[in-house]
């Protein structure tokens, strides 16, 4: 369903239930009952306004050392879990994953990047699960710390290196200081078979993590450092990542802690191929403490406002971010409809933050994902292990979008 740009935005509320949790490589032996969540919708808009919530008073407690290889997550009653792949079927330290989101076999294959001692992309056939359902999809000896993986609108796969200073330079681009983005092109007959790998340095050399496309084919990404930045890459030709303009976000009319009206500042095209973070430093871009994953509605369904970008910011101190920010991409003059050019401005606001609509139990949000209904799932990654004294779980939170009925008849908070 198409929603006009001036239609009322949906109100949302954060879910207070910590439905799933893991203790790094340990698990909880028993799960407390699922707690109900507040759906108060006093917020008048989907964008630019934080929303009320009722949060749990404490995290799930880690009580088991070593973990459970069969049931690694602690779940609420009525939920189940199945492991479809694990080490050593794939290389160590797997990170993000995605599916083939379009094409004749859409959704059949699950891809993941590994950022450990061996950097590879592996793939699992979800229709034929078994001992041979997972295999290596792509590998290069000069890859390091692969973190993001995202399916493109034209049926290829992107992965990238999370490296501020690359220790294994690409032999074709030895001058690149940071990590690079690579486009993995599968065969037309079988998306689980790789045809070729192509480097895409125009997107920027930096410590890459989250990456997402909007409907116009622009690619949003971050640099995971402190200060780290939020970027938009606009290809010169839609669907061709070999050349284009990289922009960085800069707050121009602040309304709070690095929130408010912002602009997308163009960066020097040659400089970003060497060090996109240094190029952003040079133009005074707005920095955040370790931005990580990004998410946009076009990746999981065309609902309400597909032009809000969510960014998980992990850093806890120096400065204290530890929050989810949202960016209204239609932030000013030049708003677009259809395939028209995006606005050159944006509006940044806090979406989930301690003291605003959640408690101190919300720790180091890392990955975010929208479901088809517009609920934002947020996973924590505070690190640590049971042997090192870790007793809090790595929880999964959900910022639940209000129903259409609530939108029609909003209640007081």
Q: For the segment 330-352, what is each residue's pLDDT rounded down to a tens digit?
A: 875 445 444 445 678 999 999 99
Structure tokens at 182: 């690579």
Quote the CA–CA distance of 215 and 350 in Å, as a whole number: 24
Q: What is the CA radius of gyration of the chain?
A: 21
Q: Per residue in 315-328, pLDDT tens?
A: 999 999 999 999 99
Query: Which pTM does this prediction carry?
Result: 0.85
Quote the CA–CA distance of 106 and 69 in Å, as a whole number: 30
Structure tokens at 253: 């009319």
What is the predicted pLDDT for the residue at 342? 62
Preceding peptide of 369 cis, ω within 30°: no
Q: Per residue in 128-167, pLDDT tens?
A: 999 899 999 999 999 999 999 999 999 999 999 999 999 9
What is the predicted pLDDT for the residue at 338? 47
Quote the CA–CA distance of 379 and 233 in Å, as a whole number: 26
Mean residue pLDDT of the chain comes to 82
Residue with tokens 């694990």: 86
Does 315 or 67 have the greater pLDDT score?
Answer: 315
Distances (CA, A) of 285 to 230, 244, 344: 9, 19, 15
Q: What is the largest CA-CA distance in the chain?
A: 60
Q: Per residue in 212-237, pLDDT tens?
A: 999 889 999 999 999 999 999 999 99
**At residue 273, what are phi and psi to the nearest 5 degrees?**
-70, -20
Closest CA to 246 of 228, 281, 220: 220
Q: Give 260's strand partners.
A: 254, 348
Q: Per residue in 206-218, pLDDT tens?
A: 999 999 999 889 9
Quote the CA–CA distance of 110 and 241 in Å, as a whole number: 23
pLDDT at 77 over 80: no
């Amino acid at each position: 369903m198409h929603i006009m740009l001036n239609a009322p935005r949906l109100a949302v509320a954060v879910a207070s239930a910590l439905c799933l949790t893991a203790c790094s490589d340990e698990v909880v032996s028993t799960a407390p009952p699922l707690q109900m969540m507040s759906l108060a919708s006093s917020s008048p808009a989907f964008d630019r306004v934080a929303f009320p919530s009722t949060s749990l008073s404490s995290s799930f407690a880690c009580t088991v050392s070593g973990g459970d290889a069969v049931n690694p997550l602690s779940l609420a009653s009525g939920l189940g879990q199945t492991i479809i792949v694990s080490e050593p079927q794939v290389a160590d330290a797997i990170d993000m994953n995605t599916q083939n989101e379009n094409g004749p076999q859409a959704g059949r294959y699950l891809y993941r990047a590994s950022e450990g001692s061996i950097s590879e992309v592996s793939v699992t056939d979800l229709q034929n699960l078994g001992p041979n359902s997972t295999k290596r999809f792509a590998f290069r000896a000069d890859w390091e710390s692969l973190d993001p993986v995202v399916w493109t609108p034209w049926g290829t796969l992107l992965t990238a290196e999370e490296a501020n200073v690359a220790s294994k330079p690409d032999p074709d681009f030895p001058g690149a200081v940071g990590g690079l983005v690579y486009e993995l092109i599968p065969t037309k007959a079988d998306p689980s078979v790789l045809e070729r790998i192509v480097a895409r340095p125009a997107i920027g050399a930096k410590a890459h993590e989250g990456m997402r496309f909007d409907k116009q084919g622009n690619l949003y990404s971050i640099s995971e450092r402190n200060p780290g930045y939020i970027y938009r890459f606009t290809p010169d030709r839609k669907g061709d990542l070999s050349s284009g303009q990289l922009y960085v976000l800069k707050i121009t009319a602040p309304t709070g802690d690095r929130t408010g009206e912002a602009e997308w500042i163009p960066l020097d095209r040659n400089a970003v191929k060497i060090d996109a973070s240094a190029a952003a430093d040079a133009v005074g871009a707005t920095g955040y403490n370790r931005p990580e994953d990004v998410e946009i509605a076009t990746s999981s369904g065309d609902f309400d406002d597909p032009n809000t970008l969510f960014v998980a910011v992990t850093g806890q101190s120096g400065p204290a971010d530890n929050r989810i920010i949202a960016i209204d991409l239609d932030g000013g003059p030049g708003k677009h409809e259809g395939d028209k050019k995006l606005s050159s401005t944006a509006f940044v606001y806090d979406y989930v933050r301690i003291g605003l609509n959640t408690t101190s139990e919300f720790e180091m949000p890392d990955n975010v994902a929208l479901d088809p209904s517009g609920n934002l799932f947020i996973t924590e990654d505070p690190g640590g292990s049971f042997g090192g004294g870790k007793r809090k779980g790595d929880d999964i939170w959900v910022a639940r979008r209000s129903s259409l009925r609530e939108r029609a008849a909003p209640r007081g908070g």
